[in-house]
Amino acid sequence: GNSVTQMEGPVTLSEEAFLTINCTYTATGYPSLFWYVQYPGEGLQLLLKATKADDKGSNKGFEATYRKETTSFHLEKGSVQVSDSAVYFCALPLEGRRALTFGSGTRLQVQP
Amino acid sequence: KAGVTQTPRYLIKTRGQQVTLSCSPISGHRSVSWYQQTPGQGLQFLFEYFSETQRNKGNFPGRFSGRQFSNSRSEMNVSTLELGDSALYLCASSSGDRTHTDTQYFGPGTRLTVL
């Protein structure tokens, strides 16, 4: 079935550093891919999504490109801020369902 | 539009009790899914409801159940609580129009602590 593997954290960066969080997936067909972010004490917020191969999702300076060839959907940001400190989850639908399967989450800590 | 709302936000129960959690989806959304989040197991799918019918179920015991009402609001129930049921329970709603491109929007969660 569909699954996603995400790089382990925590990732600690200085403010204005470049961020990459790796995500690879296994899927039947070409489902949509998602990145969600969870701030302390909160639920998940949709960060960005891509619905087909070569699509680039973007939001708040974050980007991720749906790579069919490498089955990847890596999250990037050119210059992180302290306010980006959170846990990031890569996700895709379970096969034939709306419900999602998630990666294990990557905690990002940005230091001033 | 108002987002997904969940009540209560925090709950403390003792082993053996039962609990009911509530979720109100975004207006116009017909699909509601429930997830359990724990430090050890991460985010796990519990079940999905669409048009008052359970469409899919994750790998959880029968103590976990749910329902959806005609206004798309949903409740989940956990009976005979165990310590391991302590978790953040997240509800997500989506339009229900398509399966592979439908986007789920999450509520703030209900933090359940079982003592």
Cβ-contact B54, B62 below 8 angstroms? no
Residue B73 amino acid letter: R
pLDDT digits (tens, 9 = 90+) for A6-38: 988 899 999 999 999 999 999 988 899 999 999
Nearest Cα residue to B45 out of B53, B30, B55, B57: B57
Separation between Cα atoms, residue A94 and residue A86, nearest integer Å: 25
pLDDT digits (tens, 9 = 90+) for A48-80: 999 999 999 999 999 999 999 999 999 999 999
Residue of B nearest to A39 (CA): B108
**CA B47 vs CA A71, B8, B32, B64: distances in Å:** 27, 19, 8, 9
> Are the beta carbons of B99 and A98 separated by less than 8 Å?
yes
pLDDT digits (tens, 9 = 90+) for B7-53: 999 999 999 999 999 999 999 999 999 999 999 899 999 999 999 99
Of A30, A98, A104, the CB nearest to B104: A98
- Return all residues near B42 (Cβ < 8 A) that are at least 6 apart: A102, A104, A105
CA B32 to chain centre: 8
Best interface-test mutation with A: which of B99, B102, B105, B110 has the largest number of A CBs within 10 A? B99
